[in-house]
Structure 1
Amino acid sequence: MTQAHPIVADQSEFAEARAAEKAETERRNALAARAVASHSIDAPDCIALLTMLGLDAATGKTADPL
């Protein structure tokens, strides 16, 4: 029996899906951080809002709009 091959393929597909989801989450977090920064009154306000939302200001600097 060669059932090991489908399991390996499933694990590979799962790993690819997780990596794609991680990249998309990072992209969305970066865009969210930029949106918060653009609507903040000043730097302390921005930091407070980002902290409340669990976002990091550094991630907003790497945002790719598409």
Structure 2
Amino acid sequence: MTWARQAGSSRPAEDKGWLAGVKAEERERMVVRDGLAVRTVAGHCKDAEECAELLAMLGLDAADGRRPTVE
């Protein structure tokens, strides 16, 4: 028999707040990672058609390669 232990605090509201923060940080990292991936692919392609094909294979959108504007 195995024992399962519930992770986190004894207050579910705190766990949800913490998890929401972790998910938000992960989304930010994914945006940066995807942007770098798009720019890397674009920099190694022969033409726009090849770039579009490779990005589609990777599930990336060319618009993700735009650098974010600083506010």
Answer yes or no: same fold by TM over 0.5. Answer: yes
Gaps of 5+ in 2: 1-9
Matched, 1:17 2:22: yes
Higher RCO structure (Cα 8 Å, ≥6 apart): 1
Aligned residues: 60
Tell me the percent identity: 41
Calculate the aligned-residue CA RMSD, in Å.
1.7
Shift of 1:62: 2.4
Question: What are the Cα deviations for residues 11-60 of structure 1, in whole angstroms up to 9, with x where unaligned?
Answer: 10000000100110111011000000000000001000000110000000
Cα distance in 2 for partners of 1:16, 1:62 equals: 24
Matched, 1:54 2:53: no
- Between Structure 1 and Structure 2, the one with more helix by share is 1
Calculate the TM-score normalised by the size of structure 1. 0.83
Structure 2 residue matching 1:55: 3-state secondary structure: coil
